[in-house]
Amino acid sequence: MRKTLWPDGERLNREIIAKPAVYIAEKAGFSVPENTKFLTVLGEKIGPEDRFSGEKLSVVLTVWKWKDFSEMVERMKKMHKFSGEGHSASIHTNNPDQIEELSIKANVGRVEVNMPHCLVNSGSWYNGQSFTKTIGCGTWAGNMTSDNINYRHMLNYTWTSVPIPEYVPFDEELFGEHFEKVKSLDV
């Protein structure tokens, strides 16, 4: 399967992109039932030494074993560094702690919760994200934004600024009780 997807070990084989599972299996030299919708491989390593940890643009999915949720989040971050940082992550859970941890730790512009990732990632009527054909991946991937790119990003805006009475808030106003805690530490 690896040789079929990356014949030279680096570049993805254009012939398998968006092709049915049966076609890919035949190219790889094995057969699957005619109604097979996707193929899976077991993830082993992250990065260029095992390209299955990156983008495949096909119905070949990589399955990863994990024992601890935080461990998996860290592994996913390494996968995103290799292929896809800034793009998106998806989680199917009702555990708010896991949703929060993934949202805080993942360097992505979108975390989809309990939704079909590929169908809502570029906007949906029921998730509130702007519809798009182009997903921004933020500074994580060298983009200007992590938004779903839409017409607003193609417009030029001119800010006209006139002097206003200056107001500079005090540290206590900006940081409230946190400022008092730090101040009491005599740092």
pLDDT in tens, 73-109: 999 999 999 998 999 999 999 999 999 999 999 999 9
CA distance 57 to 74: 23
Q: What is the pTM of this model?
A: 0.74
Alpha helices in 84-169 (DSSP H): 96-105, 117-120
CA distance 63 to 125: 29
Q: Which residues contact 132 (CB under 8 A, 6 or more apart)?
A: 122, 123, 148, 149, 150
What are the phi and psi torsion angles at 151 (to 5°)?
A: -55, -30
Task: Return the number of other C-beta atoms located less than 10 Å from residue 123's C-beta.
Answer: 17
Q: Give the pLDDT of residue 173.
A: 86
Listed as ranges, residues in the chain with pLDDT below 70 are 186-187
CA distance 10 to 134: 25
Q: Could you please state the CATH topology (level 3) that the domain comprising 2-149 is classified under.
A: Aldehyde Dehydrogenase; Chain A, domain 2 (3.40.309)
Alpha helices in 52-170 (DSSP H): 69-82, 96-105, 117-120
Q: Give the pLDDT of residue 6.
A: 96
Domain range summary for the chain, segments of one domain joined by +: 2-149
